[in-house]
Amino acid sequence: MIVIVMGVSGSGKTTVGELLAERLGCGFSDADDFHPAANVDKMRAGIPLTDDDRWPWLKALRQAIDDWKAAGESRVIACSALKAAYRDVLSPGDDVVFAFLKGSAETIAGRLKARKGHYMNPNLLASQLATLEEPTDAIVVDIAPPPATVVDEIMARLDAPGASKEKRRT
């Protein structure tokens, strides 16, 4: 199983993703690690990425998903996956479960301001929120509770193998 924990920067993707991977007993990857250096430099400078910046990044991440699947590995990935078109690249065969971490702009902005050592410029939150196309076929969870509670919610809503995707919707 491949689960992508998605949402805007500051929503808790990495924290929740690492905890979820631990609970599922599988590997974890942060999609940020797949960005080319030029993308990281732009984000550090507070310059929003364009779709042209994102396509190679998304394709590299999809290749990694294919490699993990071919090796029979389950994986949790933290990835913004803000637009439906990006999610289509990441899951062209509908073979990935998306868990959308949803929260208020105020909550997320507060988290970004408190975060240390991350290249994402907090000034980019508005552009991420403007870009976000909320998924209709994802597990949607509120980020207000503690991360362990968010993971409990995702775990409760992940279906047994072979269950329909419809049951995962909110």
Position 109 confidence tier, pLDDT thresholds 50, 70, 90:
confident
Q: What is the pLDDT of residues 42-98, one digit of tens each?
A: 877 878 788 999 999 999 999 999 999 999 999 999 999 999 999 999 999 889 999
Tell me, yes or no, whether 1 lies in a domain.
Answer: no
Domain count, the chain: 1
Q: What is the CATH number of the domain that holds 34?
A: 3.40.50.300
Tell me, yes or no, whether 73 lies in a domain.
Answer: yes
Q: What is the pLDDT of residues 125-134, one digit of tens each?
A: 777 888 889 9
Cβ neighbors of 117 (< 8 A, separation 6 or more) are none
Tell me, yes or no, whether 6 lies in a domain.
Answer: no
How far CA 38 is from CA of 42, 56, 79, 150, in Å, comes to: 6, 12, 18, 33
Single out the residue of 29, 55, 53, 26 nearest to residue 39, CA to CA: 53
Domain of residue 141 covers 12-160
Tell me, yes or no, whether 40 lies in a domain.
Answer: yes
Tell me, yes or no, whether 99 lies in a domain.
Answer: yes
Q: What is the pLDDT of residues 64-76, one digit of tens each?
A: 999 999 999 999 9
Tell me, yes or no, whether 31 lies in a domain.
Answer: yes
